[in-house]
Amino acid sequence: MPDYPHKNLILAGGGHASLPLIKMGHHWKKKNLSVTLVSAEPYLVYSGALPQYMGGFYEWHETAINLKKLCERYGVEFIRARVDSVDSQKQLITTETGQELGYDYLVINVGAATKADAKSENIYPVKPMSRLLRLKEKFESGLCHNLLILGGGAAGTEIALNLSHPGCGYQPQITLVEKNSRLLEGFPLRSTEIVTGTLKKRGVDVQTGAYSGQPDADNFDAVILATGNEPESVNISHPFSNGSSNRILTDRTLLVHGSNNVFAAGDTADVDDAGHPQIGVHAVKQGILLRQNIEALHDGKPLKKYRSYPINPLIISNGPDRAIFTAGRFSLSGKYFAVLKYVLDMHWMEKYTLPPSDRRSRVKLIRDGLQRALSARPAS
């Protein structure tokens, strides 16, 4: 093995894209590269699982990754702090507490936050997800009966489907308001028909073409804002150029424009000015590329380029027993998609929450998913 000079990699934000890098901790230590995660939260909420967690169909351990524990397992230093600024000249970041940390390589993966014009105790933006966790406590304490969801895209609709499912213990009265003429605008019309029909049958007041912009929070026990996000990097002082929607501009290797040691990925990055949608599929795939490119940079080898999937399939859960699968122009709904979602969700989660010996095989996951879907109270 060549002699490596000591270098350190800082991960600013423990988003979906950072997880594969944390798992390299021990391996990179052998190459004299140490890794530090600086994260605003001690856990990462897996967004794919959150709507079912809100409905009471996933447990906490099936929804959140304990970042501190993950770091301990792979020999990575964990610092719980919000990153406030990046100085690329001095190669250091500063946290909210004023702590300065020098880096040789930096990854910015701080995700996105929901744009919220109005502020009120009653308003719960979908991002960051810690606020929604508090809303779940409010449901469980019987303090939320009347819920407004603003935004009928994938996030707002999936939360509405899970909270209105017959198996959900609290089932608030839901009003779902979307400014476009239909729910799931941008997805096939068939998916809109499926979700709108299901929600209306359950008594959800679906209003389309009707978004006022200012939530009337006082008329509801809670308002969920699912009206679109802005990158969290806008809250960090940094010298880098922004691409579309103020996301940090990178080239296809995920290196930030004009830098040879700072990467950005996930919702906070705009790769090659392509304006990819802010979905976890990109963040997860970029995490794999980051792992390869950081190692290549450290080894002095050429970096690879990001290639997105030609289509990004999405599975929208409707409780534990049904889901809507949409890809390209197709949308289908059924029990087997709920099983598929369970298998994909749990396979991904267990990679980051359990040691290899405790992870379930795919066969076991399929069996467990089938049993879960068949024994659930039907979605109706």
Ligand X SMILES: Cc1cc2nc3c(=O)[nH]c(=O)nc-3n(C[C@H](O)[C@H](O)[C@H](O)COP(=O)(O)OP(=O)(O)OC[C@H]3O[C@@H](n4cnc5c(N)ncnc54)[C@H](O)[C@@H]3O)c2cc1C
CB of 269 to ligand X, least distance (A): 8
Q: Using the minimum distance from each CB to ligand X, give the nearer residue, 32 or 116.
A: 116
Least spacing, CB of residue 2 vs ligand X, in Å: 32
Contact assessment for residue 280 and residue 47, using Cβ atoms and an 8 Å cutoff: yes
Cβ–Cβ contacts within 10 Å for residue 253, how many? Answer: 19
Least distance (Å) from ligand X to the CB of residue 271? 12
Minimal distance, residue 225 CB to ligand X, in Å: 10
Around Cβ 129, how many Cβ atoms within 10 Å? 22
> Can you list the pairs that 239-244 forms with residues at least 24 positions away whose Cβ atoms lie under 8 Å?
239/86, 239/87, 239/88, 239/89, 240/86, 240/88, 240/264, 242/270, 243/270, 243/273, 243/275, 244/270, 244/273, 244/275
Name which of 1 and 163 has its Cβ closer to ligand X: 163
- Minimum CB separation of residue 30 from ligand X in Å reads 26
Q: Which is nearer to ligand X, 115 or 301 (CB)?
A: 115
Residue nearest to ligand X (CB): 266
- Shortest Cβ 12–ligand X spacing (Å): 6
- Nearer Cβ to ligand X (206/316): 316
Non-local CB neighbours of 239 within 8 Å, separated by 6+ positions: 86, 87, 88, 89
Q: Which two tokens stand for residue 302?
A: 């050429």
How far apart are CB 48 and ligand X at their closest, in Å? 4
Taking the least distance from each CB to ligand X, the nearer of 13 and 243 is: 13
Using CB under 6 A, list all residues that contact ligand X. 12-17, 38-41, 44, 47-48, 50-51, 82-83, 109-111, 126-128, 155, 232, 236, 266-268, 278-281, 283, 314
Looking at the Cβ atoms of 25 and 111, the one nearer to ligand X is 111
Instruction: Provide, rounded to whole angstroms, the least separation between the CB of residue 124 and ligand X.
Output: 11
- Nearest to residue 221, comparing CAs of 302, 137, 281? 137
Whose Cβ is closer to ligand X: residue 13's or residue 319's? 13
Q: Are 147 and 172 in contact (CB under 8 A)?
A: yes
Is the Cβ of residue 48 or residue 320 nearer to ligand X in the bound state? 48
